[in-house]
Structure 1
Amino acid sequence: MTGLPAADAQIPIFTTLKEVYGSLPTAAKQAKRWDDLAREFEIKFGHKPTHVARAPGRVNLIGEHIDYADFGVFPAAIEHDILIACAPRPVDRHAPGSVVAENLHPRYTRQVFSPTRRHTLGDDVPLDAVRVAPWHLDIDKTELRWESYVKAGYYGVLNHFFSPSSTSPVPVPVDILVTGNVPPGSGLSSSAAMVVSSTLAFLAVNGIFDGENAPTKGELVNIAMENERRVGVNSGGMDQSASVIALPGSALYVSFVPSLHAEPIVLPRDAVFVCANSLVVSNKAESAKHQYNLRVAETLAAARLLSHHLNLQIDSNTKRRPVTLREVLARKSGFYRDEQDVQLEDLVRLRKGLVDILGIAMDYLLPKSGDRTDISVDEMIDKSGMDEAEFRKMYLSGVDVETANFELYLRARHVFEEALRVLEFREVCLAGGGNEESKLQTLGKLMNDSHDSCHRQFDCSHPKVNDLVRVARSFGEVGKGRIYGSRMTGAGWGGCTVSLVHREDVEAFITHVKKEYAPYEGMSDEDLASCVFATEPGMGACVFKFID
């Protein structure tokens, strides 16, 4: 992707913590953590770090599971982040590109690995010729291992910035030390933050930021998306965009068509978002076959079936790439402008187009008889207009899934309706003047509707997450304060909720949630503070450079 200014900007290199976090109070709060990281690095490796790569987690305010359908989303970076201290080691004592990786968390053990260059016979060269394949690192997708995300970040740096030719420069050997306070499996995008920070660390240590090939923020998003797919997650780009491009004080409206575009959006002045951890861990990489990746396959298959049924000539390349639900809605409704140019009158057209397309989807994607809403693989193929081998190759081989039946109508309905909710959310935030309380109420209703759709139509929530949403919403029902809306955030199947609360009622709301959510009973104050916290939109990814 190329993009407009926010995505075209260079990745910042800072030398003070105030620059890193965007405010002096936050920097002061984080200083000890950074000092501890630098000191532990020197203890473990016998030399000082040269850089720290930082990538924040993110909270998605609205727009769940629609980025991989090419619809815009509305995330914000949070203060919680992944930090990787790093420095090169002497080349004469270690193999080129070798890595010694440590983690401050005691459960994670030291890992040592080196990239390799494979020589394979090429399909497009004579049989007696040898083609040099890209760099390779073994990444185990069968289980979740912390170093897999480090390797994934390294993989992209190797194959984007180091030619596999034996005469080209080689990567330096590296020591890295990882720490982080984004809870894994919480829906706050710890995996994307880990991959982004790993990518940045290897770029920094190899001096790539100092050359003419230094990537922009948009290019880093692309690389990080590719990298995370190497651990088995077919990410749509929202997590990486929020972690990389975010600016202090603003949420981001991120759209992907025709190119990556990140638009800073100022929230209503009394809007504060509070994250709460359900304590149900959801690891996308481990459960992707029957959860995250399956939803990707279902939405793409739904788009294919609808485009065939409507005889939409979307693109000459559709036989080589899957059609998205955004393309189907756009062509059917006659609306095909860039999302960043959406105006109020366009929302009216989109609402009408949405009603039309949902009626068609109900008629074509639901089984003709019985109470079922799911369809089998054979039924999908029959409705797709493709032969079986072609369909399986495009929709079932590239995405690792595990199911006998597919829910196409309910998934498509969620995606279409959620995309409209995002645009309405953006419109409310951009509207000048008006009643602030009315704006907050409208935003809250959109968030509530989003959660209900995630639960009932996309089936990506969890009973404990639903309990936590109920507890959050009850804060207003009992008259304790102003809670406008609450929803799951992130991929789902566990993780966190995000609630829109009036600034004046944040402390009382947090107290209420800590008291009423049963799994929090008996937890220490310190642990509770890490489970329920207010968040202000923060700075995106950066590199900190130590000055001698």
Structure 2
Amino acid sequence: MIAKQNVENRYREVFEGEPSHIVRSPGRINIIGEHTDYNEGFVLPTAIDKAIYVAVAKRDDDIIRLYAEDFNAYFEIARTEIHPVEIGWPNYILGVIHQLQLRGARLGGFNLYVNGDVPLGAGLSSSAALECATGYALNVLFDLQLERVDIAKIGQLAEHTYAGVNCGIMDQFASVMSKAGHVLKLDCRDLSFSYTPLELGDYAILLLNTNVKHSLASSAYNNRRAACEAGVQLVKQHHPEANSLRDVTVDMLDNFVKSIDEDIYTKCRFVVEENGRLNAACEALKQGDLEELGKQLFRAHEGLSEEYEVSCSELDFLVDYVRVFPEVLGARMMGGGFGGCTINLVKRSFQDLLIDRLTPVYEEKFGLPLTAIKVVPSNGTELL
């Protein structure tokens, strides 16, 4: 966690003035529910104690001046000339400004300093955290009267238009809307949501980062999405009311898809069953049954690996390795697939021992470092 004082001090050094507001917006994990978002299903994220910090103050001209601590880099542009740029990091901020201006927001020039401790490239949504921190900070700075859900939607559109990533709403929604000690059950069809207590007791959430990102990810994502849409079309011939896999049951897939295309059937069944696992996980949390939650995580990984086929040998190895320990209740790959992290439900007192045992074995097998990330569910975007 980065101290507010450090952010304040660095803003003073960089911009030779006082920040008027400091905002913290967290990264996120998803407990269960992968590849359900673009099928109008459910996801179960929560924010974590790793965040992006933004400090802002108004200027008396029309210039927007940015500084990113991670890159030790300035960027400057006139407010009236906002456009996507070649350098990557400013686009997440500029995209938010662009969306605010499209909504008629009256902005002036400002200085913005950004720093953070969300591990980059681990699938913890540092980009969404930056978008939401920016949106929230400008909302306060210019008194724009935006609702939290608006800030999440603006962040998503910024990612689509300026970063060129056609992401779902989960990352931004979790960053802005999370509540400490709870998971957020989000309905990706209508954005309705509810909070379920996440009481871990003697257990903790440990992420294990494979440090691998296979190039398969984007083409596989497009193929899976197409398979899901094809399955819905086959069902729709018999059930016109079916507009997404959210409206489809396993029985419908058995009757109308299985005999036509086994692969499409398997991919669609995974998504339908993943929504069921998510609901079972929520019930387990309400009952305080962490063992049942862990079973759903292991089962979700089997589905992602063998049915949806978005895992990889590194992810499968990590899940198989921890499965033998009674102190690990559950584990699965987290995110789109082909790399990134596994999420593990581990006895708190066993975490360090597990990391010490697993790290050399993984590194010897794959020739890659293994990064362990301990996370604590936390509040969403807030003014410090």
TM above 0.5, yes or no, is yes
8 Å contact kept, 2:79–2:108? no
Instruction: Please point out which of 60, 64, 70 is paired with 2:30.
Output: 60
User: 1:82, 1:55 → 2: CA distance?
Assistant: 5
Partner of 2:250: 354
Partner of 1:13: none
Q: AA paired with 1:537?
A: P
Q: Is 1:415 aligned with 2:271?
A: yes
Cα drift, residue 153 of structure 1: 2.0
Cα drift, residue 413 of structure 1: 2.2
Q: Is 1:114 aligned with 2:75?
A: no
Q: AA paired with 1:145?
A: G
8 Å contact kept, 1:233–1:288? no
Any idea what SS the aligned residue of 1:362 has? coil
Cα drift, residue 428 of structure 1: 1.3
Q: Is 1:41 aligned with 2:11?
A: yes
Partner of 2:345: 500
Query: Any residues of structure 2 matched to 1:29-428 within 5 Å, and which?
Result: 30-31=2-3, 34-91=4-61, 96=62, 98-106=63-71, 109-116=73-80, 137-138=83-84, 145-162=88-105, 170-208=106-144, 214-230=145-161, 231-281=163-213, 289-307=218-236, 309-314=237-242, 323-327=243-247, 329=248, 353-366=249-262, 373=263, 408-428=264-284
User: 1:449, 1:485 → 2: CA distance?
Assistant: 9
User: 1:115, 1:361 → 2: CA distance?
Assistant: 53
Partner of 1:510: 355
User: 2:281, 2:244 → 1: CA distance?
Assistant: 22
Partner of 1:347: none
Please give the per-residue CA displacement for 1:174-219, whole angstroms capped at 9, x wherever unaligned: 21111111122211122211221122232233232xxxxx122222
Structure 1 stretches of at least 4 aligned residues deviating more than 4 Å after TM superposition:
286-289, 519-523
User: 1:76, 1:152 → 2: CA distance?
Assistant: 24
Structure 1 residues 496 and 289: alpha-carbon distance in aligned structure 2, compared to 1, 3 A threshold: closer
Partner of 1:485: 330
Please give the per-residue CA displacement for 1:137-170, whole angstroms capped at 9, x wherever unaligned: 2256xxx8112211222222222242xxxxxxx4
User: 2:184, 2:156 → 1: CA distance?
Assistant: 18
Structure 2: segments with no counterpart, 5+ residues: none
8 Å contact kept, 1:471–1:516? no
Structure 1 residues 458 and 152: alpha-carbon distance in aligned structure 2, compared to 1, 3 A threshold: farther
TM-score normalised by the chain length of structure 1: 0.64
Cα drift, residue 246 of structure 1: 0.9
Partner of 1:11: none
Q: Is 1:542 aligned with 2:375?
A: no
Deviates more, 1:531-540 or 1:292-301: 292-301
Any idea what SS the aligned residue of 1:99 has? strand
Partner of 2:318: 468
8 Å contact kept, 1:247–1:264? no
User: 1:287, 1:51 → 2: CA distance?
Assistant: 41
Q: AA paired with 1:326?
A: R
Count of residue pairs the alignment pairs up: 383
Any idea what SS the aligned residue of 1:280 has? strand
8 Å contact kept, 1:471–1:517? no
Q: AA paired with 2:219?
A: H
Any idea what SS the aligned residue of 1:495 has? strand
8 Å contact kept, 2:182–2:195? no
Cα drift, residue 228 of structure 1: 2.0
Structure 1 residues 305 and 278: alpha-carbon distance in aligned structure 2, compared to 1, 3 A threshold: same
Cα drift, residue 64 of structure 1: 0.7
Any idea what SS the aligned residue of 1:62 has? coil
Structure 1 residues 289 and 512: alpha-carbon distance in aligned structure 2, compared to 1, 3 A threshold: closer
